[in-house]
Amino acid sequence: MRQVVVIGAGQAGASLVTRLRTKGFDGGITLIGEEPVPPYQRPPLSKAYLLGEMEEARLYLRPEAFYAEHDIALRMGRPVTGIDRAARQVMLDGETLPYDELVLTTGSRPRALPAAIGGDLEGVFVVRTLADVDAMAPRFTAGARALIVGGGYIGLEAAAVAAKLGLQVTLIEMADRILQRVAAPETSDYFRELHRARGVDIREGVGLTRLTGDGAVTAAELSDGSTLPVDFVIAGVGIQPDTALAEAAGLKIENGIKTDARGRTSDPHIWAAGDCASFPWRDGRIRLESVGNAIDQAECVADNIMGADQPYVAKPWFWSDQYDTKLQIAGLNTGYDRIVVRQDGAALSHWYYAGDTLLALDAMNDSRAYMVGKRLIEMGKSPAPEAVADPATNLKALLKA
C-alpha cells in the first residue's frame, strides 16, 4: 500500500491529508506534529481567542474523531528528527516510519528577541502557538503595562486585544512606520490613527535596545534613549520558514524549501506546502505566509500526489481584525507605484497600481470592494483608477466592463 507521510500538523498538513482522503486516496496517511494537539487555526490566537471571545474547542480545524474516521493516523507531540532520503523513511524519537511520498508542511517559527538583550527573561512572549497564547493570556489584566515590539499584523492585533482589555500598551516599530514591509503609507496611517484613538502609544522609528529585570522583565531601554517600565513584552518581529529538517536532509533551500510549480522539492518523492515552501511566481520565487496559501497549495500538492500534474496558481488573500475594523487584502502589492483611495462612508479601500495594472488592494470595512477587487485581480482586469476612486461607481459593474 502506498504510504504518504506528512510532517507538520498545522493548516497545510491538515488540508493536505483531508484532500487526499476526500479525493479517494486509498493508501496509508500519517500526519505527524510536534505540538501536542490536533491541527488548529492560528489566526484567532491573536484575535478572538486572546480576547477570551472564542473557546479552545472552536480553534480545531476538525474534531479529533474525524482523522480516525478517515483512516488518517495522527501522531501528535512527536517531533520528526530526521529524514533518510535513500531509505525513504523519517525518524521520530525511537521509531522510523517508511514513506513513498513525503510532504513537509513544517510552517514557520517566530523570530525571538536575542538572549543577549534580555529576550530570555521571564515575561517575554511570542505569538505562534496555542501554548504561546495560553502562557501570555493571564497577563492581559486591566492596567498591566505591555510592550509590543514590532508593528506588523501580529503586533498590531495583540496591541488591539490588549487595549480593548484595558492594558496600557506601548508599541515600538524600528522602521519609519508600522506595516512598512507589507502596506502603503495610507494603510499605515489608517491603523496608526485607529490605535492611537484607543490609547495605544505607537512609537515609530524606535527600536529595542535591551530588556532588563532580575529574572523577569521589568523595563525596556529604547533606541531613542528612553526607558519604559513594563510588566510583560510581546515580540512580533517576524517569522522564518521552518526549513531545519529539509536542510539537514540536503534539500534545496531558497527563502524556504524550494519547490517547483507542482510543489515538488529537489527530491522527487518529497513535497512541500504552506509557510515553509517557496515556489515559482512570475519571473522569480515567492513564499507566502497565509491561511489561504496554506490551504490552496496543500490541496494542489495532494492532487499532484494523486497524479493531477497541475501547477499551483496562487491567489493571494489575507485578513486582519483590529477593534471593529476588518482589513481584507487581495493580491500582492510588490512593485506598486500608485495608490488609489476609494472612500464611501466608513468603507475605505486602497488600490495598488503599477502603471495601469491593478496589483492588490487593502479594504477596511469594505467587503464589497474586497470581493470585486480580488475577482478583478484574478481575472487580470485593471479598471481605470478614476472609476475606482469615484464612490458613485458601481463596483460590480467593473467586473463586466
Positions in the binding site for ligand FAD (CB under 6 A): 7-13, 32-35, 42-43, 45-46, 79-80, 105-108, 127-128, 154, 242, 245, 274-276, 289-292, 294, 318-320
* Residue number with CB closer to ligand FAD (130 or 372): 130
Strands (E), 205-323: 208-212, 219-222, 227-229, 232-235, 239-241, 257-258, 270-272, 277-281, 284-286, 317-322
* Residue number with CB closer to ligand FAD (105 or 382): 105
**Least distance to ligand FAD, CB of residue 56, Å:** 15
Give the nearest residue (CB) to ligand FAD: 10
| CA–CA dist 169, 316 (Å, integer) | 31
CB 278 within 8 A of CB 314: no
**Least distance to ligand FAD, CB of residue 50, Å:** 8
* Residue number with CB closer to ligand FAD (283 or 324): 324
* Residue number with CB closer to ligand FAD (35 or 206): 35
**Least distance to ligand FAD, CB of residue 165, Å:** 17
**Least distance to ligand FAD, CB of residue 133, Å:** 7
**Which residues, in sequence order, are bridge partners of residue 227?**
221
Grid cell 487526499 — which residue?
Answer: 20
* Residue number with CB closer to ligand FAD (73 or 389): 73
**Least distance to ligand FAD, CB of residue 215, Å:** 27
Strand-strand pairing, 325-331 and 357-364: antiparallel
Measured from the Cβ of residue 227, the count of other Cβ atoms closer than 10 Å reads 12
**Cell reading at 185:** 503609507
* Residue number with CB closer to ligand FAD (76 or 117): 76
* Residue number with CB closer to ligand FAD (13 or 331): 13
CB 12 within 8 A of CB 274: yes
Strands (E), 105-238: 108-110, 124-126, 145-149, 168-173, 201-204, 208-212, 219-222, 227-229, 232-235
> What 3-state class would DSSP assign to 195?
helix
**Least distance to ligand FAD, CB of residue 368, Å:** 20
* Residue number with CB closer to ligand FAD (222 or 288): 288
**Least distance to ligand FAD, CB of residue 322, Å:** 10
The amino acid sitting at 80 is V
CB 361 within 8 A of CB 330: yes
* Residue number with CB closer to ligand FAD (159 or 222): 159
Instruction: Transcribe 345-386 into DSSP letters.
Output: TTEEEEEEEETTEEEEEEEES-HHHHHHHHHHHHHT----HH
**Residue 49 contacts by C-beta under 8 Å, 6 or more apart in sequence?**
56, 59, 133
* Residue number with CB closer to ligand FAD (87 or 341): 87
The amino acid sitting at 241 is P
**Cell reading at 4:** 504518504
**Least distance to ligand FAD, CB of residue 113, Å:** 17
**Least distance to ligand FAD, CB of residue 153, Å:** 7
**Least distance to ligand FAD, CB of residue 156, Å:** 11
